[in-house]
Amino acid sequence: MKRFATLLDNLLLTPSRNGKLELISTYLRETADPDRGWTLAALTSAVDFPAVKAGTVRGLMADRIDPVLWTLSRDFVGDTAETASLLWPEPEHGGQEPQPTLGEVVTALSRATRASAPMVLAGMLDRLDTPGRYALIKFATGALRIGISARLAKVAFAQAFGVPVDEVEEYWHGQQPPYADLFAWATGTAPPPRTDLLPLFRPFMLAHPLETEAIDLADYVAEWKWDGIRVQIVNVGGETRVYSRGGDEISTSFPEIADALDVAAVLDGELLVRGTAQGGEAGGAASFNALQQRLGRKSVSKTMLADVPAFVRLYDLLILEGEDLRDRPWSERRGRLEALMPCLNPERFDLSQTIAAKDMAELAEIRASARDAAIEGIMLKHRQSPYVAGRRAGLWYKWKREPLQIDCVLMYAQRGSGKRSSFYSDFTFGCWNGDPDAGAELLPVGKAYFGFTDEELRFLDRHVRQHTVAKYGPVRETDRSLVFEVAFDSVHLSKRHKSGVAMRFPRINRIRQDKPAHEADRLETLRALVT
């Protein structure tokens, strides 16, 4: 546990990507199984202990620390794990018992129930020093927040053992923590794990943002970038699974998609819902707002299956009847996919169409006029590109449509987490539901926590503290004095919000200190942008 705690501490204090890679790589090489596997699972959010939550820690502290002291300390520090690790009373035995290993922690917490978890966690906290307690709480609650993405952890694994990161990605999703087979392959003591016997996830090919329009359409093909969620549908041995972009299985959320594929294939496409009264043309694709009703559900009712039917607009064909096509050029894979379409259920699968344009100037005009509810922009794919994991320069580009903008007024703020735990950095903003000079009220229309610099963050934090008019737990309400220029991709009608609208990807584009709050936009302006 001490090595794990040291790793977390060093990662928090190391800002550079290469520095983090070196720390993780060294740790993976020098740490024995299964602790290094459980560390990898923690870094990639692949470990979960249902019996232990942040409330478990708060309950333990309530039994040991004066509640006023705890509340003031937690508010000042901004992180539950750090506060608890600092305030945890030293045990009577003086910490003579050996520190638990990560493997012991996993065994104990996996067996714990909601009733027994507090006693189990407390027993291990008594055996640790302050850094160890911090690491244990972070590990147990699954809230590391140390700036490590799953991709970075996989790159570090590849770097540690000198294996290609593409192969790490390929084998990763068939393994379970603590990844004994993966480490055995990487260290040369076992053959690569099999990936052809089960319907496993394959890494997606991704696109770079288009930064130049000097593209020759003789070499590239253009197609729409649809605004749903990227999915992969895999059928092997008569079993079909549906995966999200991150490799999470979502078959139970979209059973009609899993049931529809009876061909041994791996397909790449965009998950959408059919256009209904909720938005979009009948039979076509509805807005992302309609799709959101289906996301995150472990089960779906018959009513929802009927009212919000899902389908996949296909982009690519990776594997067909056991034949891996990923090393073939896009043009060949596209031809094979077009030939496969008559064999697929037309109710659940259609083909993403290419866009005819003689040059980039004409394509730019087409892109500028695209305001369909389900279109996010344009993709440009090199006709000779193989299907490779991750982003490769020069192969695929995404050319997103220009964002919409509107002026809103800051209403509420909440402190962030991790490095932002001491700053108010999550902002809720609103538009006027009429003429503010005639008594109209502000209604919330969105929330954003990025789009500003560190210097602007310090200004915003200071503004919130100096202009607070009410507190609601962790949330502060501010006076109606600061205007944000908010950029967003689209806006949709929503019954879940009092304002009746919901923004897609809102971000703070500019702080308008020059603009009086009563001159901010009204809801009718935002509703006019609904797609």
DSSP characters for 479-516?
-S--EEEEEESEEEE-TTSTTSEEEES-EEEEEETTS-
**400 touches 379 (CB < 8 A):** no
pLDDT digits (tens, 9 = 90+) for 109-155: 999 999 999 999 999 999 999 999 999 999 999 888 777 888 899 99
In the chain, the percentage of residues whose pLDDT exceeds 90 is 67
Cβ-contact 398, 523 below 8 angstroms? no
- 223 forms beta bridges with 354, 379
Q: Considering all CA atoms of the chain, what is the largest pairwise distance in Å, rounded to the nearest integer?
A: 79
Tell me if residue 191 falls in helix, strand or coil: coil
pLDDT at 277 over 80: no
pLDDT band at 88 (very low <50, low <70, confident <90, very high): very high
> Predicted confidence band at 167 (pLDDT cuts at 50, 70, 90)?
very high
Give pLDDT, residue 276. 58
Query: What per-residue confidence (pLDDT) applies to 282?
Result: 44
pLDDT at 191: 95
Task: Assign 371 a pLDDT band (cuts: 50, 70, 90).
Answer: low
Instruction: Please check whether the domain covering 404-527 is classified as CATH 2.40.50.140.
Output: yes
Give, as one character, the DSSP assignment of residue 441.
Answer: -
d(CA 268, CA 158): 25
What is the mean pLDDT of the segment spanning 12-39? 94
Give residue 332's pLDDT band: very low, low, confident or very high (50, 70, 90).
very high
For residues 354-375, give the mean pLDDT: 86
Would strands 475-478 and 404-415 be described as parallel, antiparallel, or unpaired? antiparallel
- Side chain identity at 84, as an amino acid letter? A
Q: What is the 3-state secondary structure (H, E, C) of 271-309?
A: EEEEEECCECCECCECCHHHHCCCCCCCCCCHHHHHHCC
Lowest-confidence pick of 58-67, 100-109, 413-422: 413-422
Give tens-digit pLDDT for 182-193.
999 999 999 999
> What confidence score (pLDDT) does residue 482 get?
94
Question: Helix and strand tally (H, E) in the chain?
Answer: 19, 22
Mean pLDDT of 284-302: 82
Q: What distance in Å separates the CA atoms of residue 201 and residue 245, rounded to the nearest whole number?
A: 9
What's the CA gap between 486 and 510, in Å, rounded? 7
Q: What is the mean pLDDT of residues 16-34?
A: 95
Q: What is the pLDDT of residue 298?
A: 80
Q: What is the CATH number of domain 205-400?
A: 3.30.470.30
Helix axes 54-62, 117-125, angle to 10 degrees: 70
Please compute the mean of the pLDDT values over residues 151-161 and round it to a whole number.
Answer: 94
pLDDT at 369: 79
Contacts 24+ apart (CB under 8 A), 118-124: 118/56, 118/59, 118/60, 121/52, 121/56, 121/57, 121/60, 122/60, 124/100
Q: Residue range 208-222: average pLDDT?
A: 89
pTM > 0.95: yes or no: no
Q: What percentage of the chain reaches a pLDDT higher than 70?
A: 97
pLDDT of residue 224: 93
Q: Which of 92, 83, 79 lies closest to 65 in space, CA to CA?
A: 83
Output the pLDDT for position 283: 55
**Amino acid, single-letter form, for residue 131:** P
Q: Which two tokens stand for residue 141?
A: 């609650």
- Which of 129-138, 164-173, 434-443 reaches the highest mean pLDDT? 129-138
Ranges of each domain in the chain: 2-141, 205-400, 404-527
Average pLDDT of the chain?
90
pLDDT value, residue 91: 81
- Check residue 138 and give left, alpha or beta (phi > 0: left; psi -120 to 50: alpha): alpha
On the question of pLDDT at 6 being above 90, the answer is yes
Q: Does 58 score more than 60 pLDDT? A: yes
Query: What mean pLDDT is predicted for residues 293-320?
Result: 91
Packed helices 54-62 and 80-87: angle between N→C axes, nearest 10 degrees: 30
For 385-435, write each residue's pLDDT tens digit: 999 988 888 999 999 878 889 999 999 999 987 778 789 999 999 999 988
Strand partners, 226: 375
The residues with which 266 forms a beta bridge, in sequence order, are: 234, 319
pLDDT of 309 higher than 90: yes
Q: What is the DSSP string of 390-406?
A: EE-TTTEEEEEPPPEEE
- Written as six digits, the tokens of 429 are 């903003």
- The most confident of the ranges 107-116, 274-283, 358-367 is 107-116
CB proximity list for 70: less than 8 A, separation 6 or greater: 58, 61, 62, 83, 87
- The Cα–Cα gap between 289 and 279 comes to 9
CATH entry, 2-141, from 1.20.120.1200, 1.10.3260.10, 2.30.42.10, 3.40.190.10: 1.10.3260.10
Q: Give the pLDDT confidence score for residue 93 in this predicted structure.
A: 65
Quote the pLDDT of residue 373. Answer: 63
**Helix spans in 310-380 (H):** 330-340, 360-368
Least confident of 74-83, 422-431, 463-472: 74-83
Q: How confident is the model at residue 294 (pLDDT cuts 50, 70, 90)?
A: confident
